[in-house]
Amino acid sequence: MQLHISPSMRSITISSNNGFTDLMKIKVAARHISYRTLFHTILIVAFLLPFVFILTALVTLEGANKCSSFDCFGRRFGPRFLGRVDDSGKLVRDFYKIFNQVITEEIPDGLKLPDSFSQLVAELKNNQYDAKTFAFSLRAMMEKLEREIRESKVSELMNRHFAASSIPKGIHCFSLRLTDEYSSNAYARRQLPSPELLPVLSNNSYHHFVLSTDNILAASVVVTSVVRSSLEPEKVVFHVITDKKTYAGMHSWFALNPVASIIVEVKGIHQFDWLTRENVPVLEAIESHHDFRNYYHGNHIAGANLSNTTPQSFASKLQARSPKYISLLNHLRIYLPELFPDLDKVVFLDDDVVIQRDLSPLWEIDLQGKVNGAIETCKGEDEWVMSKYFKNYFNFSHPLIAKHLDPDECAWAYGMNIFDLRAWRKTNIRETYHFWLKELQEGSDLSTF
Ligand SMILES: *[C@@H]1O[C@H](CO)[C@@H](O)[C@H](O)[C@H]1NC(C)=O
Ligand SMILES: *[C@@H]1O[C@H](CO)[C@@H](O)[C@H](O)[C@H]1NC(C)=O
Ligand SMILES: *[C@@H]1O[C@H](CO)[C@@H](O)[C@H](O)[C@H]1NC(C)=O
């Protein structure tokens, strides 16, 4: 099909290549025609043309002897299906009728599905279908494709989940090598920060960040990104908390790769007296409880019903089941006031964030006696991410939940939280947390995942 505009811009000729030359010729009469009008004319014609063409083709082929594709299509479906061509309303009605019928009926057993659309067309041409079989085939093909897409989407999510939570092969021994360095290299063991800087760790004129992770690379990314984006890097103090097995490696990393001008402290949970005394046993029980382990580390596809699982719900399930949620390190935030008894305010960062802006204004926010400042995840542009309320996380069929919580309360992101530790110390948040942990251990049907 061609669109030809005459050099004088007075006429537009549209022609198709197969004999319908000069099917339409539009003469533009006005002498001083605006380009705007011309543009609109072209647009309208270009949209109309396919319909005009198809109608003309059908009318032409109706009387033709030789079997063109349109004609065969019509005859095979029979007069009832295509009706008289000029009776286009009837055609559409018949179409609807057949598709409506097919939607509610069972797809016949043993319906042989073509592998592709072109095979469907080929079989159509070879006179193999009546209208109903054709509609069934179309429906079955679409359902099959939908199923396949859903399944591959789910396995893609699964693979991404594992890829994201595992260590790339190239650095399998990264942590091990750093640990080895710790025992053999005195510089890797040196005190962090150096003794003259120790008072800074509890000086509230500085900006204190807390990062709790067993992932050395991630910790390095978070620390470096904070420093790079900071307008006052000399005020930044990092408290990196890690578990016993990662402690030596984490310490070596920050000792051997000092981040310019900032102060980094590395602590293992075994070094907090307060933690080991009474509280860690509660948390460790969670981490090692068989059912919990299975829930977070198990085969996530096994129990899932793929025919009623959407990729989105599967993704959020995987996200909720990330093993890091039962890691002791993840529960540490609840002990911040006790872990840092001298500090008034801290910013707690998750290990999967990259900071791109200066965060110092966070310390100037007046929390008005509140404990936690965070970003709400129920208002915002992204409909999926920003639509999270308590009802998305908790099982409100459970009487205990229904009694204590409001389903329409906005949820919040905890990738970056500011905590007012002075306000926190006046509350009994920790006891409440322990209460819920105990409930969770006794019967795990409190959450919706
Ligand atoms: C905290 O640090 C500031 C700035 O370096 C210093 O002026 C102040 O004396 C320090 N406070 C204490 C209690 O050490
Ligand atoms: C999966 O869900 C579909 C639709 O809800 C249901 O018909 C089917 O029986 C379920 N399959 C299993 C194995 O639970
Ligand atoms: C929600 O709680 C009810 C009542 O305890 C329980 O029967 C149900 O299994 C729970 N649902 C989930 C998904 O855990």
List pLDDT tens digits, range 310-327: 777 777 666 666 666 656
Nearest CA to ligand 1 atom 2: 205
- Predicted confidence (pLDDT) at residue 6 exceeds the cutoff of 50: no
**CB 202 less than 6 A from any atom of ligand 1:** no
Tokens describing residue 222: 């978070």
Domain boundaries, the chain: 1-31, 32-85, 193-374+414-441
**Residue 199 Cβ < 6 Å to ligand 1:** yes
User: Which tokens is 30 given?
Assistant: 């006005």
Model confidence at 74, pLDDT cuts 50, 70, 90, reads very low
Pairing of strands 345-349, 412-420: antiparallel
- Nearest atom (ligand 3) to Cα of 401: 2
Average pLDDT of the chain is 76
Distance, CA of 20 to CA of 26 (rounded, Å): 15
More confident residue, 447 or 437: 437
Tell how far the Cα of 156 is from the centroid of ligand 3, in angstroms. Answer: 29
Report whether pLDDT(208) > 70. yes
Determine if ligand 3 sits within 6 Å of the CB of residue 448: yes
User: pLDDT tier at 280 (50, 70, 90 boundaries)?
Assistant: low
- pLDDT for residue 207: 96
Ligand 3 center–CA 396 separation, angstroms:
8
- What confidence tens digit (pLDDT) does each residue in 30-50 have? 444 455 555 555 555 555 555
The SS3 call for residue 192 is coil
Question: What is the share, in percent, of the chain residues with pLDDT greater than 70?
Answer: 67
**Six-digit token string for 298:** 């198990």
The confidence band for 82, taking pLDDT boundaries of 50, 70 and 90, is: very low
More confident residue, 423 or 110: 423
Whose atoms come closest to the Cα of 440: which ligand?
Answer: 3
Q: Which of 442, 445, 449 to mutate to test the pocket of ligand 3 (most atoms within 8 A of CB)?
A: 445
Of 205, 192, 196, 202, nearest to 234 (Cα)? 205
What is the best residue among 203, 207, 263 to mutate for testing ligand 1's pocket, by most ligand atoms within 8 Å of CB? 203
409 Cβ closer than 6 Å to some ligand 3 atom:
no
Going by the DSSP 8-state scheme, the letter that residue 344 receives in this structure is: S
Is the shortest distance between the CB of 307 and ligand 2 below 6 Å?
A: yes
Q: How far is the CA of 306 from the centre of ligand 2 (A)?
A: 8
Percent above pLDDT 90 for the chain:
28
Q: Which amino acid residue places its CA nearest to atom 11 of ligand 1?
A: 203
Residue with the smallest CA separation from ligand 1 atom 14 is 203
CB contact at 8 A, 240 and 223: yes
Segment among 189-203, 319-333, 396-410, 416-430 with least mean pLDDT: 319-333
Q: From residue 266, how far is each of 75, 211, 241 by CA, in Å?
A: 80, 10, 6
Average pLDDT over residues 139-153: 86
Residue 58 scores a pLDDT above 50:
no
Signed CA dihedral, 278, 283, 284, 290: sign only: positive
**Model's pTM, two decimal places?**
0.64
Tell me how many degrees the CA angle 406-410-416 measures, rounded to the nearest 5: 130
193-374+414-441: what fold? Spore Coat Polysaccharide Biosynthesis Protein SpsA; Chain A (3.90.550)
Highest-scoring range by mean pLDDT, 100-104, 158-162, 240-244, 301-305: 240-244
Phi, psi of 440 (to 5 degrees): -65, -40
Whole-number Cα distances in Å, 203 to 222, 348, 419, 420: 22, 17, 16, 15
Which range among 162-171, 176-185, 210-219, 410-419 shows the weakest confidence by mean pLDDT? 162-171
Q: What is the pLDDT of residue 30?
A: 40
- Residue listed under structure tokens 């984490």: 250
Please, which residues bridge with residue 268 across strands? Answer: 242
Q: Is 444 in the pocket of ligand 3 (CB under 6 A)?
A: no
